[in-house]
Amino acid sequence: MRQIPPITKNLLIINVLAFLASLVMGSRGIDLNDIFGLHFVMAEDFAIYQLFTYMFMHANITHLFFNMFALWMFGCTVENAWGQNRFLFYTLACGIGAGLFQECAQFVSYAVEGFAAYDSVNIGGMIMPMGEFLNNWTTVGFSGAVYGILLGFGMTYPEERIFIFPLPVPIKGKWFVCIYAAIELFSALGTSNDNVAHVAHLGGMVIGYFIILYWKNRYNRQYRFQGWDGYEIRDNDGFFDKVKGFFSKMKENDSRKDTPKDKNDEERRRQAEIDRILDKIKRSGYDSLTTEERKKLFDRK
């Protein structure tokens, strides 16, 4: 657990604690999935906060395990590459977006079936009031956010080879994402009722793609995604060139002076610290620097 980055670790803990709480409260007759799960927007039990809370509720231990395994497997890598703030925003946005996609899919079913014209439905010979029937359209799980993370992994490490059971050979990250997207698309278009929110899974990937597309087109010292070629820092305003030129010029001027050995040692330590800060900018962006690091970057005594 010590090697898991903080956002991924906290998401794992929150999901597990929420599942344990649902078991405890369920034994007392309180269904947390009904309270915090995402109800259909036309249902009486729908609440806007459920678009957020539904992500942390799960139907059973198997549902929880596979979502948390995927979060751990891919979330650690993506968070280390993007930084904490970017990863947290991206993950929650994908989860909320997946919920919105699921609501749209349910509304289409509601309209196509013409449920608005009926007061009740016949289910296996049992008459159920329409309000109770709609309240049963409940979505839970972290899957939508996980599928967004899978997309982020595939676009960040497109050439990284991974093993996927039961395939006997490793496949590249970009093909891994494409295969999962195709499976969810065909499943969503199918007529089988497997109680899996395939549209929500696709929604998480779609939202993730547009977030990455937005980041790609942003300027001023941020990540640039080059299709399937990974990412690099975009330096449209010449920030890094200016910084490198600034310190290179100072180093050149210092080399022309006869300086004591201790001063040269101090300069080497200072340059090593500057290199560390520049590496941090490349990994997590300029906004990740502390006030002290920014001061060291630009102040020269």
Report percent pLDDT > 90 for the chain.
39
- Residues 55-111 have pLDDT tens digits of 999 999 999 999 999 999 899 999 998 899 999 999 999 999 999 999 999 898 888
The correct answer on CATH 2.70.98.60 for the domain covering 6-225 is no
How confident is the model over 271-294, as a mean pLDDT? 73
Report percent pLDDT > 70 for the chain.
77
* Secondary structure (3-state) at 45: coil
In whole angstroms, give the CA distance from residue 231 to residue 228.
9
Please, which pLDDT band fits residue 5 given cuts at 50, 70 and 90?
very high
Q: 181-188: long-range contacts (C-beta < 8 A, 24 or more apart)?
A: 181/151, 181/205, 184/147, 188/105
**Domain ranges in the chain?**
6-225, 239-298
Provide the whole-model pTM: 0.69
Tokens representing 26 are 């369920």
- Residues 193-233 have pLDDT tens digits of 667 788 889 999 999 999 988 887 764 344 444 444 444 44
In whole angstroms, give the CA distance from residue 129 to residue 119.
6
User: What pLDDT, on a 0 to 100 scale, did the predictor assign at position 228?
Assistant: 42
- Residues 117-143 have pLDDT tens digits of 778 887 777 888 888 888 888 999 999
Tokens representing 120 are 């009740």
- In the predicted structure, residue 151 carries a pLDDT above the cut 70: yes
